Amino acid sequence: MDNIEKKSADDLEAGPSFSDDEEKDPFNISRTKDATIERLRRWRQAALVLNASRRFRYTLDLKKEEEKKESLRKIRAHVEAIRAAYRFKEGVLQGNGQLPEFSLVSSGDFPIGQEQLTSLTRDHNISALQQCGGVKGLSDLLKTNLEKGINGDDADLLKRRNVFGSNTYPKKRGRSFWMFLWEAWQDLTLIILMVAAVVSLALGIKTEGTKEGWYDGGSIAFAVILVILVTAISDYRQSLQFQSLNEEKRNIHMEVIRGGRRIEVSIYDIVVGDLVPLNIGDQVPADGVVISFHSLSIDESNMTGESEIVHKDSRDPFLMSGCMVADGNGIMLVTSVGTNTEWGMLMASISEDTGEETPLQVRLNGAATFIGIVGLTVAFIVLIVLLARYFSGHTKDAYGKVQFQAGRTSVGDAVDGAIKILTIAVTIVVVAVPEGLPLAVTLTLAYSMRKMMADKALVRRLSACETMGSATTICSDKTGTLTLNQMTVVEAYVGEKKIGSPDSNQLSPMLTSLLIEGIAQNTTGSIYVPAGNADVEVFGSPTEKAILYWGIKLGMNFEAVRSEASVIHAFPFNSQEKRGGIALQVPNSEVHIHWKGAAEIVLASCTRYIDTNDRLVAMDEEKVIFFKNAIEDMASRSLRCVAIAYTTYDRERVPADEEQLSQWVLPEDDLVLLAIVGIKDPCRPSVKDAVRLCQIAGVKVRMVTGDNIQTAKAIALECGILTSEADATERNIIEGKNFRALSDAQREEISEKISVMGRSSPNDKLLLVQALRKRAHVVAVTGDGTNDAPALHEADIGLAMGIQGTEVAKESSDIIILDDNFASVVKVVRWGRSVYANIQKFIQFQLTVNVAALVINFVAAVSSGDVPLNAVQLLWVNLIMDTLGALALATEPPTDHLMHRPPVGRREPLITNIMWRNLIIQAVYQLSVLLVLNFKGKSLLNLEHDDSGHANKVKNTLIFNSFVLCQIFNEFNARKPDEKNIFSGIMKNHLFMGIVALTIVLQIIIVEFLGKFTKTVRLNWKHWIISVVIGFISWPLAFIGKFIPVPATPISNLFKRRNPPSIN
């Protein structure tokens, strides 16, 4: 592990600033999610591109991004202008002692229409709400029960959608297949080839007649059209995959109250009249008014552009769709949905995705640019040499006749000859400039993202998919990620007694009554009691559900208890304070304040407890030690410890003014301890194996939890994060407050050693991420709370939880883990490594073809003035290499072998020493065989006595056939660059086998039946055997080559000027 960490420190960049290398090299962007528009524009300008619309299709559309921001600004300004106009009108009328008129217009079965509802919320029209009879009157108009919600049956939902619309907005249609076809035509080289084909067609028909003269031009035109068609089909399929994934990203699920019970529905299924519970981190799903609230604060920056948090109460109850709940909780009544909201209008205008580039995509554009420049140079030299030889009379046809004789050859023939030479040169450019190389990233990402959905991971940001392959450490939450999130109270200390199974008979009446009151009132959960003898249904977070079930066992009647007292004020639980409280007005005019939270934090505020005889007893030092030991005992057995406490308060001291009440800080000292409960949350069965697999792969797993340090230690031992008690030392385990107190330098130093952080706040998690990134780690972080958003954004890969995660956390994340399972996080690591490995396979395969095709045509052109591979053949090779090759190699599924190597360094060269070795062996072999065939083919094949023209065609056909078969055999080699068994898992990859089979069938058809188009002749069975043997030899060569050792230092580093080490 130490070696891996040392290695990664050399080749990974962590800090937010760019290194000197990055500033100099426009293609070196290690973190695209923070890159500026100017930085992204630089690499585009530096890239050599033949078809910009296709090459940059899946990168961020810089123009559309600017248009999107401008559109957002205009809509925000429009909203503010309407509100300002309304406020002005309202002010004038109020100055005259009048109220603005708000007349109701019935719509369908409802006394109020959509137009009135829209103006009500859009204008924040409080006087209109009062004229409707307040929230109660509005709910009556919408036929909504403020306790039980709408009826929610199919007929009711349909009626509401017909009258008020659905919570959807018109989406811009995706690009049609014809659009992709048009974009595929934009390739400059293909346009030149088509022009050349048309001219060649015209000249051919003119000189040789319609029957024979159309073959040359027609064959090139057909080949170009085939390339365009296959390219368009491949791109269109990718587009459909991205569209379906984008739909999945937008489909948020939320709870609504219908028929008295909470049910989860898609955000698209929410209707006007629905009651929607809102908690910290939720997105407001539609426009509406808040009907109950506790410290509810809304972040309206999405709509207004202002970062100020707005507090919601009865004076400002209006909620706008698309905003986020920053603090507190409440229940909203939906009044407008879909395009009847400002958010819906906004989304309808900018719904098209503007794309995103990935670091690997940018680097591959750099590689493609370099290779393309070499290819262009070779093509230019070939063009000059062939033209010089042609017009100097040194070029002969297949029969040995000089093709151009000054003064004798007609202008038409001379132009035709020059066009054929130009066609060959342009086709060399088509093969040499690897347009498909950067697009192979998109192909493998599209494939991986679709497969990752099946592995319970939804990718929100493309770059995260590949960055995960470089992850050196994962900072994981405990609850729900490493554990099952199936919580049960298994033990409790009530008063002085330790009880197992709860029974109200074991407890004194007053203690039971206070406990039940605290459990029922101080909760964001709820209980639904169905008619008949059906089991009760409990809703809420896993911790809330566990405590509510425990309350039921104590004899709690949830609805009855909640109706006995009224809520004065609430302090919702948050991960910073690790506790939540509520102030209640009870029947005897007393005020009870109940607290619930982390056991040792609540215990520190307790000065008394209630004993078994219902007496209030002072908490002496002995009792404090007793309860602390109880907490440690439960925590050491991996139980989550929660304390429940209360105190009384004078009614006169409670603020009477609503504004003061909203700012009131609940008393949290001098509490009376009621109970400490131990909640069991078992480890996930698969987590130990997943952690071990990470350790083998060189990825350190760190647990960052808000739980007690002893609970965290026990779970870490159970999961394998700590391998033994000997590992559970201070250097490996730390509390959040201690880590927070260290200096930046100390945090950096200690961060390497930390395996477990207990009682951490979200800010501690952020500090840990920053410290690890400064140590050159590539950090993946899991998070579910609103306050986790900064850490998720700061991390190289932010992983939000799909079940427990808030919408704010998901919006800040790169990948959503749909089942909240750590094993799924490890699968994402495998897929990340697979993306990188597949691209490397494709690079190795493509460069071998590039080198062989370029060199053989260059050498043949310079030496003999003829090229063995003509334009149509090269276009077929390009199709195999670019589109079909990418499909075959970029869609290889991940293997366990990927997890037995260290993480991929972000500064590691794309072409490793192993790839160079494989590439050189195959390229040298192919060139040797093909050049021998080119210069000595006639004698070796016993064709010397044949007709000269036919002999040349047989020789060139054999070269073409052997060359293509070499690529097919080499495709198998490229599957496993560093493994000796290239056939491992071959039958599982049906797409690979299908493409290989298709290529072979098409090659046979081309050689045997399409000779007129490709300038080939039919080969006899001996020549086919020779071609197959030449291709087959690449397998044993590759096997033997893998025994040749390669240096550890990348070859590219040997050519770099050594710089003195700099201190960051």
Give the three-class secondary structure for 760.
coil
> Which of 269-294 are b and which e, b meaning 16 or more Cβ less than 10 Å from the residue's Cβ?
bbbbbbbbbbbbbbbbbbbbbbbebb
C-alpha 630/C-alpha 497 separation (Å) is 11
Indicate the helix (H) or strand (E) that contains 858. helix 822-864
Helical spans, DSSP H, in 941-1016: 948-975, 990-1009, 1011-1014
C-alpha 601/C-alpha 504 separation (Å) is 27
Tokens (6 digits) for 277: 């519970």
Neighbours of 652 (CB within 10 A): 7
Q: Are the C-beta atoms of 699 and 829 separated by less than 8 Å?
A: yes
What residue has token string 């070269």?
959
Closest CA to 391 of 854, 859, 865, 861: 865
Q: Are the C-beta atoms of 338 and 268 separated by less than 8 Å?
A: no
Closest CA to 840 of 910, 923, 891: 910
Helical spans, DSSP H, in 286-358: 301-304, 342-350
Q: Are the C-beta atoms of 12 and 28 separated by less than 8 Å?
A: no
Which of the following is catalytic: 187, 235, 327, 477? 477
What residue has token string 């390497």?
752
Closest CA to 576 of 604, 605, 606, 597: 597
Question: Which residues are CB-neighbours of 199 under 8 A, at least 6 positions away?
Answer: 217, 415, 419
Question: Which residues are CB-neighbours of 711 under 8 A, at least 6 positions away?
Answer: 635, 636, 638, 639, 640, 641, 705, 758
What is the pairing mode between strands 526-528 and 253-258? unpaired
How many residues belong to the chain? Answer: 1064
Strand partners, 602: none
Give the three-class secondary structure for 255.
strand
Closest CA to 756 of 794, 805, 707: 707
C-alpha 975/C-alpha 888 separation (Å) is 9
What are the percentages of helix, strand and coil residues in the chain, rounded to 5?
A: 55, 15, 30
What residue has token string 């009621």?
674
Tokens (6 digits) for 282: 């939720």
The angle that helices 822-864 and 913-940 make with each other, rounded to 10 degrees, is 40
Q: Is 644 exposed, middle or buried (0-12, 13-18, 19+ CB in 10 A)?
A: buried
Instruction: State yes or no: is 455 an active-site residue.
Output: no
| Residue 559 identity (one-letter amino acid) | E
Question: Which residues are CB-neighbours of 267 under 8 A, at least 6 positions away?
Answer: 167, 251, 252, 253, 254, 283, 285
DSSP secondary structure string for all residues of 310-362: EE-BTTB-EE-TT-EEEEEEEEEEEEE-GGGSHHHHHHHHH-S------HHHH
Tokens (6 digits) for 482: 């490493």
The catalytic residue positions are 477
